[in-house]
Structures are given as C-alpha cells and as structure tokens.
Amino acid sequence: MTHPPRDVRRREIGGQDRLDRRLGAPPPPPSPLAWLLSLLRTRSALGMAPSLTPAVIFLPLGALLGPRGLGLLSARMLERLDLVVAVALTVLGVLVGVALGREIRSARRLFVAASLESFVTIVTVTVATIYFVNATAVPIGAPLVVFALALGLSASASSATSADPDFEPAAAVATRVADLDDVLPIVIAVAAFALLPAAPPQDLWLLAAAPIGVGAAVGAIGWLLFERAESTAERAVFVLGALALAGGAAAYLGVSPLAIGLVAGLTWTILPGRADRIVQDDLLKVQHPLVVLLLVTAGAMATPSVAAAWLLAPYLLCRLAGKTLGAWFSARLVDVRPADLASYLMPPGVLALAFALNFRQALGGPAGDLLLSTVAIGTAAFELFALAVLPHWRRGATV
Amino acid sequence: MPLREVEEPSGRETRLVVLVVVVALAVLLLLARFRFPSADLTVVVPAPGPLAGLAARATFDEMASAMAGLADRVEPSIAVLDIEPVPPLEHAAAGRGAAPVSPRGAPRSPAVSPTPTPPPPMPRRPHVVAALRIRSDLVVAYVGAGMRVATKEGEPAAEVIALSADPAIVILRAFAPAVSIAATVEGFAGFSYAGVVDVTPGGPTVQPTFVGRADRVEVVGWSRSLISLGRSDIPAGTFVFSIDGRLIGLAIRSGDSVSLVPASALIAAVADVPPKVAGPPTP
C-alpha cells in the first residue's frame, strides 16, 4: 500500500504545517497536571499539535461571543457570515476531493473500508433518531426522515486527530480512513437536499446535477487559470476567486457546498497538471483560520434547548455504537485492530459541524438550530471523550 | 509492524463491540420510554438564505413575500363562517330575550365618548365572514347587525354567544379551526403596515394595508379602549394582523369609519365565557 504525500493527511484540522514539521511533535505530558497544562498550550489550542482539538476551545468561545453570551457576534453579523460559511464549507469539500482523487487510484480497498464504516454510522444514528423521536415526541419542526438523515450524516464525520500518524502505524491508516469516510456522506447529502420540503419536485434534477456541473465548471476554470498565474499573489486571487464562485453558486442554487467542493477538488486532482498541489499549498495558509471561523460561528449559532439535550441521547450513544461497529467491519479490510481504528475515528472534528451548518442553512428555523445545537454539544463531548477515555482502548499506546 | 501479521479481530475486540452496542441500545430504549415535555414551537420567521442580504429585491416582491408568509401563519387559526339574514320575527324576539356575556369590568364613566351610532346594516344576504379561534374552544366573528350564523342542514347548530358590548360580534363554541392565535400586539400605535385577513368561499386571504393614525377611544360596554382608525377602507369583520403574524384586532363599523377591537379586548371579552363542561356519558 503506497503512502500518499504527508501533507495530504489530516487536511482538515490539527494537521502539521511546515512550521510544525520543523519544530517537531511535542512530547506527551508525563503527569495528569502536566497533561492539563498542556491543554492550554497555544499550539494545541490552535490545533497545531495533536494533543487537543480546537473544538473544545472554540465552540465554547463562540457561544460566549454569540448573541446569547456577550453579544459581540450579533445575530445580524451571523446572518452575514452565512455566505462566508458557505465558502468555508466549499474549501472543506475541496480538501476531501483532493484526498479522494489521490487515494482512489492507489487505495481502493481503503476507500471501501472508509465508506463502509461511514455507512454503518449513518444508518445507526439515522434509524435510532427516527425511533427516538417517534417514541418521545420531541418536536423537531421538520420532516423526520430528513432531520434524522442530517443528524446521521453529521455523526459519520471523523477527524482522527488524537494521535500523530508518524508515530503509530494504526494512526496512519486511521488518518487516511478519516480522510476518505467523508465522501459517502457528502454524496448522500446531495440526495438529502432533494428531500427538503422547500425543494420543488420539478427541480430535483437540478439539485442532483448542480453539484456535479458547477463543481466540474469551477474545476475547469481553476485548471485553466492556476498554473498560468504570473505571481503568487495573482495565483492566490485565482484560487480564492474559484472557491468564492463555488461557494456562492452553492448558496444561490441551494445545494450542498461540500458536494461542489468535492467535485472541484476531484477535478483538479484528476486533470493533468499541478492544480491540486497549487490549491492545497494555498489552502494550507487559510486552513487554521478557516477552522477557527467555522467553530466560533457554530458555537455562536448554537441554541441550547431542551430538545437539543434530548436528541443528544441518540446522537452520542448511537454514534459511539455506529463508529465501533463500523470500525469492526472495516478493520478486516485495512488490517488494523478494530478497537484502534474506532478510537482514532471517534473524534468528529470540524466536518461534523460543517455538515450541521450546511443543513442548518437548508432546513432553516427551529429545526436547523436544533440540529446545529445537538451536533455542537455532541462534538465537544466526543472530543473530550477522545482525549480522556479512548487512549485506554488502544493496545500498546504510548504514554 | 507488517500489516499481514495483524490477527483477525480477536475475542476482545468482538466483546468490546457487543458491549458498546448493547449498552447503547439499552440506554436508548430506556430513555425512549420518557415523553418529551410538551412545548409549542414558537413562530419563527424562516432564516433567509445566505445571499438574501446581498440581493437587491423590489419592494413589492418583499411585500408579496411578507403577505404570503403571514397567510401561512394565520391560516390555521381562521375559519370560514357562513352567515345569513335573521328573519324579521326572530330578530324581534332576539332583541327581547337573550342574556349575552358581558366583558369584564364596570362600564366606563360618563366622561367617555358616546356610544357610536349603530353601524349601517351589513349586506342582507348570505355570505361568509372570517372567524378566528380566540381560545381553545371558542371562535369569534363579526356578523353585523341583522345577521346570524347560518345553520347547515344535517349539522347541529353551534352554540352562539353574543357580546353585550356589540351584538354584532358573536362567539361560537367550536373546535375548528385547530390552532389558537399564538401572539397578539399590545399597544398598537399605528403608522405601520399590517395584513387584513378576510375570507372567500375558498378560504382565508390577506390584503396588505398601511395603518396611519390610530387613536384610542373609550366606548361604553368595552373594558378596554378601542382603536379608532378614522377610515373605512378596511372591511368590517376582518381581522388585522401585524406582518409577523400577531393579532392586532377585529375591525368593526363605528359610524362612518372603522374601529379596531384590540386583541386584548377580545380576549378579555371571552374570558367570562365558561369552558364547556363535559356532560355525563351517553348510554
């Protein structure tokens, strides 16, 4: 199994950039107090080191700054940020597409394993949510199947940030699985958008074809422009312009920006030339601020409610069960211990919030807020769970 | 470690999976036995799309969109009520007999403005008016002088209660439409756009209007002041709502103009109507 270039891995958050690689990975803390103090390290808080994910820091920070806290991020400002969120989701989709384009040629078995693990998680959380909402009569304010599917897609995301792939072989495999297990949820999200009540039946073909058409068009535009830029600044303008075009088109058409970004990233990787490397190099510069933006925005938009607390039960329990079961099935395909694979895939990362933000824009109203709140609280809970409990699952983990 | 040397998932792994799945299912089934405490979702205007704030739209498009949204919000609380002229003999008997419900509070002092002149008669032919669910078991409608709620053949007559403050307003004990009004406007000051909700034989409809000056007037018989609009283009018997779906009041004829019975006055007027007590079960 060939290994992809190192900078492909962990492309979403916590990934090491050039500065991290020069400085080297920090040693693990020797005592509980030192471990606690390490949580406050700047590099960890910004996601530059694998010991802490930024969700634990920036989700509560967003809630504090948001309309229900200090009010520094007002409701009006959050409405303006909706378009920026759409562009940010497109960027995440591009990163997934680039990873898919590189891995699919050399590691089809890995892709199948990742999709299988993701599928099991989606089905588990979706079915559990449908049963739970029917049994408890939680008011969700949206079609139950769509809402449950949106929750299931958010639950399927993984970030594999709890260990450095350079030090643990199983982590290297898990990181690649985490990169690829976002593809199936993005594809299913395209179908989920067609089930939304606001989607006119006569436009279903548009909702299905638009991500492919627009993504391919943006991909073609970027492929023609990126390598012909005469300077680094001009190239950056072209890259950001293409991403803004993709995000804006997604917002205008009401389709998933993640899907458009996936197709665009895949196009840049498949087509000859260096468009994929150019995009990746330029996106590395904005990767961390983008993640911080998404997390703070999600924290500010989250609306704690009794209904969100009730929905945490199927989300937390069945995501745990789904990831464990999915890893048990997939581990056979990638020759990794199921417990190791499950533990690395447990942290949801920013992709879970990306799905939730995407569906919040589509569902709108109380249903969208309810979905985002549930996923935000669940994400923070799973990140803490991954830090505190999961290392004990792994056999022979370094301490 | 060569990947080929990793053994098949061992008993430990399988036990871990089974334990996690069984515990998760058990806890989920246990929590599913509890019902969510019932709570109504608040009426929320759907969040606009990401580009809504950037796109320039014509003012009329926004008004049309606002009216359509208002119609969707109020339709569950509005019913079409058939009314018919009262036969002359019945009209005379009704004037001698009934004991209508009085609104709360004593009549206002003589310093209040005089009782408005009787409104001109409504069209003396069967037609439809809007009825609003004001309480879980009551609907209110303005039928006008000389009119009554029509009785449909084969259906039992609805219990009708007239208001002493204005006999042209009736309260019916009915259980349709299904949704009571969610919110009302307190202290309406005018100079804002509103939606006038009327009905056609096919169902409710909404017309936009701009309400200018709105003065408070005290009227004998009402425990709360009415809102004088000084205009007659709002049809009597229609319900006036704010753009965001809150009830402002019921339009009634007041001389040559139209006044609004504020939502608070309507609610206070029906407060004295006792809820229907379930009778003994029929054998």
The winner for highest mean pLDDT among A4-18, A53-67, A245-259, B185-199 is A245-259
Flag the least confident range among A33-37, A183-187, A332-336, B88-92: A33-37
Cis peptide before B85 (omega within 30 of 0): no
3-state secondary structure A189-240: HHHHHHCCCCCCHHHHHHHHHHHHHHHHHHHHHHHHHHHHCCCHHHHHHHHH
**If DSSP codes are grouped into helix, strand and coil, which group holds residue A273?**
coil
Of the candidates B13, B39, B47, which has its C-beta nearest A328's C-beta? B13
Q: How many CB atoms lie within 10 A of CB B14?
A: 13
Of the candidates B17, B35, B44, which has its C-beta nearest A338's C-beta? B17
Give residue A44's pLDDT: 41
CA separation (Å) from A106 to A2, A3, A100, A189, A267?
7, 9, 10, 26, 17
**Average pLDDT value over all residues in chain A:** 81
Give residue B107's pLDDT: 40
Flag the least confident range among A14-23, A358-367, B12-21, B204-213: A14-23
CA B235 to chain centroid, in Å, comes to 17
Mutate to test the interface with B, among A317, A345, A392 (most CBs of B within 10 A): A317
If one compares A155 and B185, the residue with the highest pLDDT of the two is A155
What confidence tier does B281 reach under pLDDT thresholds 50, 70, 90? very low
Residue of A nearest to B12 (CA): A339
Length of chain B: 283
d(CA B241, CA B130): 13
d(CA B7, CA A339): 13
Please check the confidence at residue A58 and state whether its pLDDT lies above 80: yes
Residue of B nearest to A342 (CA): B17
Phi and psi torsions of B85, nearest 5°: -65, 145
Please indicate if any CB of chain B lies within 8 Å of the CB of A314. yes
Please indicate if any CB of chain B lies within 8 Å of the CB of A141. yes
Please check the confidence at residue B174 and state whether its pLDDT lies above 80: no
Give residue A296's pLDDT: 92
Give residue A378's pLDDT: 93
Please indicate if any CB of chain B lies within 8 Å of the CB of A366. yes
Give residue B123's pLDDT: 55
Pairing of strands B239-242, B190-200: antiparallel
User: B69: closest CA among A364, A277, A152, A167?
Assistant: A364
CA separation (Å) from A140 to A311, A367, B33, B36, B47?
10, 5, 18, 11, 16
Give residue A159's pLDDT: 81
d(CA A178, CA A158): 5
Tell me which chain B residues have a C-beta less than 8 angstroms from the C-beta of A366: 41-42, 44
Of the candidates A85, A251, A318, which has its C-beta nearest B49's C-beta? A251
Q: Which residues pair with B213 in a beta bridge?
A: B190
If one compares B57 and A82, the residue with the highest pLDDT of the two is A82
Give residue B172's pLDDT: 81
Is A80 within 8 Å of B28 when comparing Cβ atoms? no
If one compares B223 and A301, the residue with the highest pLDDT of the two is A301
Interface of A with B in 1-20 (CB under 8 A): 1
Calculate mean pLDDT across residues B205-212.
89
| Model confidence, pTM | 0.60
Place of tokens 């609280």: A377
d(CA A297, CA A309): 20
Q: Which residues pair with B84 in a beta bridge?
A: B148
Calculate mean pLDDT across residues B242-259.
84
Q: What is the DSSP string of A89-103?
A: HHHHHHHHHHHHHHH
Contact B183, B45 (CB under 8 A): no
* Furthest CA-CA distance within chain B: 103
Tell me which chain A residues have a C-beta less than 8 angstroms from the C-beta of B36: 136-139, 306-307, 310
Mutate to test the interface with A, among B12, B31, B65, B72 (most CBs of A within 10 A): B31
Please indicate if any CB of chain B lies within 8 Å of the CB of A331. yes
Please indicate if any CB of chain A lies within 8 Å of the CB of B30. no
Read off the pLDDT of residues A66-117 as tens digits, 9 standing for 90 and up: 888 888 888 888 888 888 899 999 999 999 999 888 888 778 888 999 999 9
Give residue A12's pLDDT: 46
If one compares B116 and A252, the residue with the highest pLDDT of the two is A252
Q: How far apart are the first and last CA of chain B?
A: 82
Of the candidates B28, B33, B41, which has its C-beta nearest A128's C-beta? B28
Nearest Cα of chain A lies from the Cα of B177 at a distance, in angstroms, of 20
Phi and psi torsions of B185, nearest 5°: -95, 130
d(CA B191, CA A243): 45
Is B33 within 8 Å of A361 when comparing Cβ atoms? no
**Average pLDDT value over all residues in chain B:** 73
Residue B271: both structure tokens together: 């407060």
Please check the confidence at residue A288 and state whether its pLDDT lies above 70: yes
Please check the confidence at residue B202 and state whether its pLDDT lies above 50: yes
What confidence tier does A255 reach under pLDDT thresholds 50, 70, 90? confident
d(CA B107, CA B118): 18
What confidence tier does A24 reach under pLDDT thresholds 50, 70, 90? low
Please indicate if any CB of chain B lies within 8 Å of the CB of A177. no
Give residue A299's pLDDT: 92
Q: What percent of chain A has pLDDT over 90?
A: 34
Give residue B16's pLDDT: 85
Calculate mean pLDDT across residues A361-387.
87
Please indicate if any CB of chain B lies within 8 Å of the CB of A139. yes
Contact B99, B201 (CB under 8 A): no
State the virtual CA torsion across A63, A64, A67, A70 in degrees, nearest 10: 180
Give residue B53's pLDDT: 58
Q: Which residues pair with B190 in a beta bridge?
A: B213
What confidence tier does A357 reach under pLDDT thresholds 50, 70, 90? very high
Mutate to test the interface with A, among B27, B28, B42, B54 (most CBs of A within 10 A): B28
Give residue A109's pLDDT: 87
CA A92 to chain centroid, in Å, comes to 7
If one compares B237 and A205, the residue with the highest pLDDT of the two is B237
The amino acid present at A162, given as its one-letter code, is: S
Please check the confidence at residue A43 and state whether its pLDDT lies above 70: no
Please check the confidence at residue A198 and state whether its pLDDT lies above 50: yes
Give residue B185's pLDDT: 78
Q: How many CB atoms lie within 10 A of CB B273?
A: 17
Q: What does the DSSP 8-state code read for residue A171? A: H
Calculate mean pLDDT across residues A289-315.
89
Flag the least confident range among A90-104, B154-168, B181-195: B154-168
Of the candidates A137, A306, A331, which has its C-beta nearest B9's C-beta? A331
3-state secondary structure chain B: CCHHHCCCCCHHHHHHHHHHHHHHHHHHHHHCCCCCCCCCCCCCCCCCCCCCCCCCCCHHHHHHHHHHHHHHHHHHHEEEEEEEECCHHHHHHHHHHCCCECCCCCCCCCCCCCCCCCCCCCCCCCEEEEEEEEECCEEEEECCCCEEECCCCCCCCCEEEEECCCCCEEEEECCCCCCCCCCECCCCCEEEEEEEEEEECCEEEEEEEEEEECEEECCCCCCCCEEECCCCCCCCCCEEEECCCCEEEEEEEECCEEEEEEHHHHHHHHCCCCCCCCCCCCC
What confidence tier does A318 reach under pLDDT thresholds 50, 70, 90? very high
Contact A343, A393 (CB under 8 A): yes
Of the candidates A136, A324, A337, which has its C-beta nearest B21's C-beta? A324
Give residue A202's pLDDT: 58
Please indicate if any CB of chain A lies within 8 Å of the CB of B99. no
Give residue A399's pLDDT: 38
Please indicate if any CB of chain A lies within 8 Å of the CB of B38. yes
If one compares B38 and B8, the residue with the highest pLDDT of the two is B38
Give residue B5's pLDDT: 43
Q: What percent of chain B has pLDDT over 90?
A: 8
Give residue A116's pLDDT: 94
d(CA B168, CA B164): 9
Contact A193, A256 (CB under 8 A): yes
Residues in contact with A266: Cβ distance below 8 Å, sequence separation at least 6, in sequence order: A97, A98, A100, A101, A215, A219
What confidence tier does B48 reach under pLDDT thresholds 50, 70, 90? low
Is B47 within 8 Å of A86 when comparing Cβ atoms? no
Mutate to test the interface with B, among A133, A335, A370 (most CBs of B within 10 A): A335
Give residue A18's pLDDT: 52
Give residue A33's pLDDT: 56
Give residue A26's pLDDT: 57
Contact B198, B141 (CB under 8 A): no
CA A180 to chain centroid, in Å, comes to 11
Tell me which chain B residues have a C-beta less than 8 angstroms from the C-beta of A336: 3, 6
Mutate to test the interface with B, among A77, A87, A121, A136 (most CBs of B within 10 A): A136
